[in-house]
Structure 1
Amino acid sequence: MDNIIQIRDLTFAYAAGDEPVLSDINIDIGSGEFVIIMGSSGSGKTTLLKMLKRNMIPAGRYSGRVYIYGKEADKLTDRENAAGIGYVSQDPDNQIVTDKVWHELAFGLENLGMDNVTIRKKVAEMSEYFGITGWYDREVSKLSGGQKQILNLASVMVMQPGILLLDEPTANLDPLAAIRFLDVVKRINQELGVTVVMVEHNLEHIYADADRIIAIDKGRVAANSSPKKAAADIIAAGSFLIEGLPVASRLYSGYNKKNGNSVVSYNNVNIDSNNKDNHILSDEIPLTVKEGRRWYVNYKKVYGKDITKDKDKINNFAGKSIINDKVIKKDVLEEDNITGNKNKKRIGFIKKNNLENKSSRKNTDNIENTVCQLKNVSYSYNKKLPYIIDGVDVSFKEGRITAILGGNGAGKSTMLKLIAGIIKPVCGKIISNKRIIMLPQDPKAVFTEVSVEEELAEVLMDKGNGIYNNMPMEDKREIVEQIIEEFGLNDIRKNNPYDISGGQQEKLAIAKVLLLKPEVLLLDEPTNGLDPYFKKTLGKLLKKINADGVTIIIVSHDLEFVDSFCDDVIMLFDRKVAAQDSTHKFLRDNMFYTTNYYRIIK
């Protein structure tokens, strides 16, 4: 197999950074290979991907060489770079440049200088291949997130690149849309022979289909082999990267003991490291639901154990970095201490008896044990368009973490905005006497200052919210210091909020809105763009906030996160509430809208 991509001794540091983001990278990728790059946020995955396309190479200092099609990447011609290397990013809206589907498909070809006859032929061919002929004349703004991402992919593939680069392309898609997108990517690789290099956090439905897994840890290559071999290496090392493996592999690793390390498994399953059942049953590590179910059947036959009985045990996993074998606490949130500093007395900022400025909506009905009720609520963004939600009746329980589920465009974010009072229902009523605060999907939307500590201080200094107007300045300073410590923000307190990682931005945004003392906290897709390692930290943070008396309602596509940290779920479909149940019962009873954990143990 000829190597279409060659990376030699690559080291890179951003212009404003002292430490290298990538160190001594040496990778060969063959023509037609399907390669997945995995690793935690900030490990260097996206930076490595951008080094493969000339116009995406970030500003900074680097040494080493990157060869594409046998030429140095930064010396490719404009045409070679544009037509030969396709790139799809994680945000469907960021890559779209025109108003109509057909124009979006033709845009790249027009820029390559092709004539109209050739453009029409190629656009027609690509529309048929992707099954989007029915969208041809539609406005791009009317497409769902999943449809936009398919359009982005088709717009790249119409130029017939030999290399396709994908940067977390499913991060903003609902579970079924993500699966459909990944199925198209697999077809492109298998049927067209296109070399695919994909950075992805959600590997559940794609890991086993890759030819090779490259794991990046602290800017270095930690694994570079077949999916099974990479999983075996990660499990044997006891690495935190286990959290990024498919469910079947995580279950297997949690119920088997290797090299003296007991590695906890998927979700909330936890087996004692001294348990005699904790050893290898097979040399084969399962990667898929099919393989996982086969392993589970064998496990039950040998040991007579039903692993579902362990579901209620909480997993506190501290993994090791493969690079330096140093123990890294990926979950720094202890049961009674947000920062993990056991020597400090924790001061709770959210106390219900101290709340002020409650919602002006009157408690006219009996809402005992609920924080909010929607009664026959309908809403449309335009009188000429159908309702987004129609005649919805639903209540949210006090003291619970509730997830609102549904496909793209189902009305999840709309319901959150209605609850928050950001928009008003066309008909029906919303009943609540609680102080409700909503954090939007993009945490950067709440940032207004130039440093992390100033973001937090801004809430206390804002006379408009009326919460801290009569508080002495010294007490305000103390609160800022305490919340910085509680949320583990001290190391980045002087950093610009736009320069910190996605996980850190989410944590800062939550800390900021908590200073507004909500009784109900609304979160719109809080795990979007987060790696699986930080998701667990975020989930434990939400559990702690919930234990302090804050009811939490989240919109999410992330079923694994919902399964781990949410008490109840509400599913929207066809403009109405299609289901409302406990998380466990909802996911256990479903076949398609569920996690692979439940598919394996059925």
Structure 2
Amino acid sequence: MSELYKIKDFQFQYPNSKSVLVYSGTNFINENETLLLRGPSGSGKSTLLYALKGFLPNTIYGKMTGEVLFRNQSISQLSRKQKAQIGFLFQNPAAQMLSRTVWQELAFGMENLEFAAYQIKEKITEYAKIFGIGELLSRQVSELSGGEKQKIALLSILLMQPQVILFDEPTAFLDPDSAQHFIEVFNQIVHNKTIVIVEHNLQYLQKVVDRSLWIDNQGIVQQIPLQQIDWDYKFPKLQLVSTGKTILAISELNFAYKPEKPILTGLNLEVKQGEIVGIVGRNGAGKSTLLKLLAAILKPNSGKIVVFGKKINKYHYKELYKLVGLLFQNPENHFLYETAAKEVQNDLTVLAKFLLKNSANNNPFNLSEGEKRRLSLAIQQKLERQIFLWDEPTFGQDRKNKEILIELLAKMQKAGKTFIIVSHDRPFLDAVCSRILALKDGKLYEQQKD
């Protein structure tokens, strides 16, 4: 294989950040290989992808030293047309959406590459059929779930037919069926392309990866033999604890954003104090919507939600929010201050629990996506609520941070806290949940745990 990228003594520092991301030595990425980048959350894997795309230091600002060469040419010197041959899937798909409708979003890249109108229509129709997203083409982007946005972002990249594709956690927001479908499509597109993947959900990737690099927090880059990777790690399971009385009850809940397309239909659920309940389901099934209804951000069309024996619509919002805490799927929705420390009232002990002490003085928006998620979890812990509604809490987290979260859940559960967790991370749910429910066709169904 011939060398495509050369990365030599690369360093980068974001504005208003005290940390310098370092990649020591000289490393290469070869033509037509599929490379897996691994390392602790916050080690700079996403930043390295930004460098490989040519975003640094002018599109994404910061101080950069060292070399990043693409076919022996400085990445910063590539033309717009050359950079268009490098596709990039962001870790947070919402950051990639530019257009109002799904069709416009898919067409946007090809229009900029001057594809003919008939080619754009043909390609979108063809790829929509392959991906099974035909029903989304007429939708507004703002109506999509996180997983649906992930699919559209991926498809918009593939439509531009790049020679290099940089994937930043491509399965993070995908349900297991969609993730498996992604791998099937992936196998069709990797021929004669260079693929670089950052991913923590390794169970999907074993059969598609050619080589793996590990980047630690000191910037040391090591090649790890594929046979040494634990592709399907199982977390230690929480011990079941005795639960108390029912503190959350949902009966005959109905909700629709549009009358002609119901999301939840006659949904029922009872949750006891101290339970950890997992909710799974396909992208767009209504899982995040359900959590927003339980947090009174949305109002149901009909049905009843009772929290601690009182109908949710009878609470003043200040009273309800002392009982119920919602972890949004997008961690940035939690940030209000200019430093991570201020987000948790300067409680460095809490930041240390989530391995964020060294980022205390950093702007929350300059953290990695995994660090942002941990900061939002730290904010949640400081809230001291009784019921926690968590939407994709393990997004962007490596194994160590997931194990830390499992330990935290155990302590909070013993203190009588109750959790409803929406996640596509089935190994995590199997480890922590007392029961797992699948949301399908507007209703919840019991699922067997692993």
TM-score, with length taken from structure 2: 0.85
Provide the secondary structure at the position in 2 that maps to 1:396: strand
Shift, 1:143, TM fit: 5.0
Match of residue 83, structure 2, among 81, 102, 106: 81
Deviation at 1:496, TM superposition (A): 3.6
Superposition pairs of residues 187-226 of structure 1, within 5 angstroms: 187-190=188-191, 193-224=192-223, 226=225
Identity among equivalent positions (%) equals 35
Q: Which residue of 2 aligns with 1:412?
A: 287
**CA deviation vs aligned residue, 1:45-79 (integer Å, no higher than 9, x gap):** 11111111223544334333222133221111111
- Do structure 1's residue 246 and structure 2's residue 245 form an aligned pair? no
Alpha-carbon distance, 1:544 to partner:
0.8
- Alpha-carbon contact 1:12-1:62 (below 8 Å) kept: yes
> Which of 392, 401, 412 matches 2:267?
392
- Separation in 2 of the partners of 1:543 and 1:517? 15
1:153-176 Cα deviation digits (max 9, x unpaired) = 332223322111111122222222
Of 440, 444, 449, 2:337 maps to: 449
Higher-Rg member (1/2): 1
Q: Does 1:437 align with 2:325?
A: yes
**CA distance 1:452–1:123, change in 2 (3 Å):** closer
Match of 2:316 in 1: none
Alpha-carbon distance between aligned partners in 2 of 1:46 and 1:73, rounded to the nearest angstrom = 16
- 1:215 Cα deviation from its structure 2 partner: 1.2
> For 2:29 and 2:355, how far apart are their aligned partners in 1?
39
C-alpha displacement at 1:557, in angstroms? 1.4
Deviation at 1:380, TM superposition (A): 1.8
Equivalent residues of 2:38, 2:45 under 8 A apart: yes
Cα deviation, residue 219, structure 1: 4.9
SS of alignment partner, residue 185 of structure 2: helix
Residues 233-272 of structure 1 show CA distances to partners (whole Å, capped at 9, x for unaligned) of xxxxxxxxxxxx312xx5xxxxxxxxxxxxxxx322xxxx
SS in 1 for 2:278: strand
2: CA distance between counterparts of 1:432 and 1:76?
58
Q: How many residues align?
A: 433
Residue 35 of structure 2 aligns with which residue? Answer: 35
Pairing partner for 2:449 from 569, 577, 587:
587
- Structure 1: gaps (5+ residues): 232-244, 251-265, 269-310, 315-366, 458-476, 581-585, 589-602
**Cα distance in structure 2, aligned partners of 1:377 and 1:395:** 12
Q: Aligned in 2, Cα 1:502/1:187: closer, same or farther, shift over 3 Å? A: same
* Preserved contact between residue 91 and residue 169 of structure 1 (Cα < 8 Å): no
1-structure distance, mates of 2:350, 2:148: 41
Shift in alpha-carbon separation, 1:415–1:108, aligned structure 2, 3 A = closer
**2 CA distance for matches of 1:132 and 1:418?**
26
Q: Is the contact made by 1:390 and 1:575 (CA closer than 8 Å) also made in structure 2?
A: yes
Paired residue for 2:168?
167
Q: Please say if 1:267 is aligned against 2:269.
A: no
Higher percent of residues as strand: 2
Aligned amino acid, residue 426 of structure 1: N
Task: Give the 3-state SS of the residue equivalent to 1:108 in structure 2.
Answer: helix
C-alpha deviation, 1:20, in angstroms: 3.6
Q: Contact 2:36/2:212 (CA < 8 Å) preserved in 1?
A: yes
Note the C-alpha offset of 1:556: 1.4
Aligned pairs for 1:512-551 (under 5 A) are 512-551=379-418
Q: Given that residues 102 and 137 in structure 2 are in contact (C-alpha distance below 8 angstroms), is that contact kept between their aligned partners in structure 1?
A: yes
Q: Structure 2 CA distance, aligned partners of 1:195 and 1:485?
A: 38
CA distance in 2, matches of 1:51, 1:185: 23
Counterparts in 2 of 1:159-558, with a 5 A limit?
159-190=160-191, 193-224=192-223, 226-228=225-227, 230-231=228-229, 245-247=230-232, 250=233, 266-268=234-236, 369-382=245-258, 384-433=259-308, 435-457=323-345, 491-502=358-369, 504-558=371-425
Correspondence for 1:59 among 58, 61, 65: 61
Structure 1 residue 558: Cα displacement: 1.0
Residues 484, 120 of structure 1: alpha-carbon distance in 2 compared, 3 angstrom cutoff: closer
How has the CA–CA distance of structure 1 residues 385 and 219 changed in structure 2, closer, same or farther, with 3 Å as cutoff?
farther
**Kept after mapping to 1: 8 A contact 2:148/2:283:** no
Look up the equivalent residue of 1:69 and give its one-letter code. Answer: R
Measure how far apart 1:404 and its partner are: 1.7
1:571 matched to 2:443: no
Quote the Cα distance in structure 2 between the aligned partners of 1:128 and 1:68.
Answer: 34
Q: What are the superposed Cα offsets for residues 410-462 of structure 1, whole Å, 9 maximum, x if unpaired?
A: 222222223223333322212222732323223332332333443344xxxxx
Q: What is the Cα deviation at residue 120 of structure 1? A: 4.7
Shift of 1:2: 2.0
Whether the 8 Å CA contact 1:372–1:419 is kept in 2: the answer is no
- Note if contact 1:572-1:578 (Cα within 8 Å) is conserved in structure 2: yes
Three-state SS of the structure 2 residue aligned to 1:55 is: coil
Give the corresponding residue for 2:70.
68
In structure 2, distance between residues paired with 1:386 and 1:151: 20
1:110-147 Cα shifts (integer Å, max 9, x gaps): 22234435545555565566565665555545555444
Is the 8 Å Cα contact of residues 12 and 23 (structure 1) preserved in structure 2? no
Distance between the aligned counterparts of 1:483 and 1:135, measured in 2? 41
Q: Tell me the amino acid that sits aligned with residue 277 of structure 2.
A: T
| Higher relative contact order (Cα pairs below 8 Å, separated by 6+ residues) | 2
Distance 1:78 1:370, change over 3 A: same
2:87 is paired with a residue of what secondary structure? Answer: strand
For residues 486 and 47 of structure 1, what CA distance do their matches in structure 2 show? 24
Deviation at 1:43, TM superposition (A): 1.1
Cα 1:540–1:368 change in 2 (3 A) is closer
- Counterpart-to-counterpart distance in 1, 2:380 and 2:134: 45
- Correspondences of 1:13-24 after superposition (within 5 Å): 13-17=13-17, 20-24=20-24
Over 3 Å counting, the alpha-carbon distance change for 1:568 and 1:386 in structure 2 is: same
RMSD: 3.1
Unmatched 5+ stretches in structure 2: 310-322
Structure 1 residues 391 and 49: alpha-carbon distance in aligned structure 2, compared to 1, 3 A threshold: same
Show CA shifts across 1:30-50 (max 9, x none): 221111111111112111111
Q: Report if the CA contact (8 A) 2:235-2:403 is conserved.
A: no
2:42 alignment partner AA = G
Are residues 122 and 501 of structure 1, via their aligned partners in 2, closer, same or farther at CA, if it must alter by over 3 Å? closer
TM-score by length of 1: 0.65
- C-alpha distance in 2 between matches for 1:29 and 1:489: 31
Q: CA deviation at 1:211?
A: 0.7
Corresponding letter in the other structure for 2:80? D
